[in-house]
């Protein structure tokens, strides 16, 4: 229990607290006390309230752990809606890759990452896993934003923004990870191997070795399309999962992004290696990749978190929308209305996501000893009335606009739907300035606009 003399930094009280702990503790009303960035009190809101430097009165509101977005490419906010509804190859080779080659630099990454941070925070995301290039600039932006982020520097065997010579891709990643680790704070460095199609076996082995040396995580787009699996079977005689495992790549700190085209053998292997999965359903649907066997993966014992993927293939960073799509999509794919109940989806978006990113000891639930990554939703809206079950509403009826306050590591980063850590209007103006160049570029292939 809290010593009454110990003043809290922050208290949220009077709202319905969904802790998402193992027992599913639901305090109505409840209160959560924060000190030094950590949760030090979780209890019914009864009797005298402890003293706190700051009180968030949450009557009629829902308090829950912040959402965890397990995969995105934050700077791609610049390419949001630039090219849609195209065949995958056209989309990549005619639109996205040329736009990236032309427009990605540290200035672009900085501003467009801040925009992504704003969008994530305003929609209740408190932790993201970003995978891109020029990731040092992304780290600067994320640190300003106050988000908790796993920042993964891209590794690919082609010239990439900030890595014109692919022979140096591991060296650049190493420097990035060392520098970022030294900075401390809410940013965790990692390595993002783009895919088995774009990274050689040697590159993948080196990345694995680097991750081991530095003790950092590895992310990789894995089995995203049927074509990737077919190519791998043709070239390597086995599935992408088996191929990566043969390289020694698959270990506990690997995040397999997508995993749309994995079979039961793959799933069993991923589970044995302790690999986590980042399921990016809306992106997989939009690009025509497929629905993915998430029920099977979970049954195989894998931890599956949710990701939005980049804003060029979604086209937003809204984890509430993603939760709903995942809950509905799983039922549609299985033709089974009992597939992925709301409570499971909410855990995927919080606790399971934290586990996938290796952060389960710190975030993902509201429990004493965890860091205070919390969101507060208004429940007083037409579309949330009546409310028999808040968990059902969070998945099937609520949306990002219901998010009112966002706390990361004990700091109030969004208050009354406004970003407190940086000037969003300025960021939007800077991104529009960059977008105007993209739009008017003479050799840009995008037909939209």
Residues 174-203 touching a copy of itself, rule: CB under 8 A, are none
Report the greatest alpha carbon distance in the chain. 68
Cβ-based nearer residue to a copy of itself, 91 or 132: 91
Exposure pattern of 144-179 as b/e (b: 16+ CB <10 Å)? bbbbbbbbbbbbbbeebbbbeebeebbebbbebbee
The CA-based angle 45-51-52, given to 5 degrees, is: 95
The whole-angstrom separation of Cα 380 and Cα 375 is 16
Cβ-based nearer residue to a copy of itself, 286 or 411: 286
Binding segment toward a copy of itself, per CB under 8 A, in 53-61, 173-181, 264-272, 285-293:
285-293
Other beta carbons within 10 angstroms of residue 47's beta carbon come to 7
Interaction between residue 242 and a copy of itself (CB under 8 A): no
244-283 binders of a copy of itself (CB under 8 A): 282
Interaction between residue 147 and a copy of itself (CB under 8 A): no
Least separation in angstroms between residue 143's CB and a copy of itself is 18
Interaction between residue 326 and a copy of itself (CB under 8 A): no
Q: Which of 82, 113, 119 is CA-nearest to residue 97?
A: 82
The whole-angstrom separation of Cα 190 and Cα 205 is 15
Among 197, 214, 392, 422, binds a copy of itself (CB under 8 A): 392
Interaction between residue 295 and a copy of itself (CB under 8 A): no
Least separation in angstroms between residue 386's CB and a copy of itself is 3
Residue pair 19/42 in contact (Cβ under 8 Å)? The answer is yes
Query: Would you mind telling me the total number of residues written for the chain in this entry?
Result: 449
Among 380, 418, 423, 445, binds a copy of itself (CB under 8 A): 380
Cβ-based nearer residue to a copy of itself, 169 or 313: 313
Among 1, 338, 416, 443, binds a copy of itself (CB under 8 A): 338
CB within 8 A of 55, min separation 6: which ones? 10, 11, 12, 13, 49
Cβ-based nearer residue to a copy of itself, 370 or 393: 393
CB within 8 A of 322, min separation 6: which ones? 69, 280, 281, 282, 306, 307, 308, 349
Among 36, 60, 87, 159, binds a copy of itself (CB under 8 A): 87
Least separation in angstroms between residue 27's CB and a copy of itself is 15
426-445 binders of a copy of itself (CB under 8 A): 428, 431-432, 434-435, 438-439
Cβ-based nearer residue to a copy of itself, 355 or 393: 393
Q: Which of 236, 280, 214 is CA-nearest to residue 69?
A: 280
89-128 binders of a copy of itself (CB under 8 A): 91, 115, 118-119, 122-123
> Which DSSP helix (H) or strand (E) runs through 150?
strand 148-155
Cβ-based nearer residue to a copy of itself, 151 or 327: 327
Residues 401-430 as x/- pattern, contact with a copy of itself by CB under 8 A: x----------------------x---x--
The whole-angstrom separation of Cα 61 and Cα 30 is 11
Least separation in angstroms between residue 144's CB and a copy of itself is 15
End-to-end CA distance of the chain: 58
Binding segment toward a copy of itself, per CB under 8 A, in 237-245, 263-271, 332-340, 347-355:
332-340
């Amino acid at each position: 229990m809290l010593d009454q003399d110990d003043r809290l930094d922050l208290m949220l009280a009077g709202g319905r607290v969904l802790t998402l702990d193992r027992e599913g503790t639901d305090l109505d009303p409840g209160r959560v006390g924060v000190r030094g960035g950590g949760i030090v009190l979780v209890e019914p809101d009864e009797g005298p309230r402890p003293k706190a430097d700051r009180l968030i009165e949450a009557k009629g509101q829902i308090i829950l752990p912040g959402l965890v977005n397990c995969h995105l490419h934050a700077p791609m906010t610049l390419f949001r809606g630039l090219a849609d509804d195209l065949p995958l190859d056209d989309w990549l080779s005619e639109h996205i890759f040329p736009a990236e080659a032309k427009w990605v630099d540290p200035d672009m990454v900085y501003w467009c990452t801040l925009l992504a941070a704003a969008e994530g925070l305003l929609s209740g995301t408190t932790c993201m896993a970003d995978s891109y290039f020029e990731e040092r600039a992304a780290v600067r932006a994320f640190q300003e934003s106050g988000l908790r982020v796993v920042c993964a520097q891209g590794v690919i065997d082609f010239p990439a923004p900030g890595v014109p010579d692919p022979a140096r891709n591991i060296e650049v990643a190493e420097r990035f990870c060392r520098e970022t680790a030294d900075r401390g704070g809410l940013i965790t460095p990692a390595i993002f191997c783009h895919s088995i199609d774009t990274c050689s076996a040697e590159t993948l082995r080196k990345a694995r070795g680097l991750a081991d040396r530095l003790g950092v995580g590895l992310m990789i787009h894995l089995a995203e399309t049927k074509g990737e699996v077919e190519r791998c079977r043709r070239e390597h005689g086995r599935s992408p999962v088996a191929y990566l495992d043969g390289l020694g790549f698959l270990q506990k700190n690997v995040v397999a992004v997508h995993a749309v085209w994995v079979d039961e053998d793959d799933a069993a292997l991923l589970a044995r290696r302790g690999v986590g999965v980042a399921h990016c359903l809306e992106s997989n649907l939009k690009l025509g990749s497929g629905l993915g066997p998430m029920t099977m993966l979970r049954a195989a014992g894998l931890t599956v978190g949710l990701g939005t993927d980049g804003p060029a293939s979604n086209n937003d960073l809204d984890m509430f929308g993603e939760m709903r799509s995942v809950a509905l999509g799983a039922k549609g794919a299985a033709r089974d209305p009992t597939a992925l109940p709301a409570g499971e989806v909410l855990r995927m978006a919080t606790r399971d996501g934290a586990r996938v990113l290796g952060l389960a000891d710190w975030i993902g639930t509201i429990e004493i000893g965890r860091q205070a990554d919390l969101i507060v939703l208004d429940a007083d809206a037409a579309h949330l009335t009546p409310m028999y079950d808040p968990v059902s509403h969070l998945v099937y009826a609520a949306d990002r606009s219901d998010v009112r306050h966002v706390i990361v590591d004990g700091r109030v980063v969004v208050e009354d739907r406004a970003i407190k850590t940086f000037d969003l209007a300025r960021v939007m103006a800077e991104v529009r300035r960059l977008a105007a160049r993209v739009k008017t570029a003479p050799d840009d292939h995008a037909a939209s606009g």
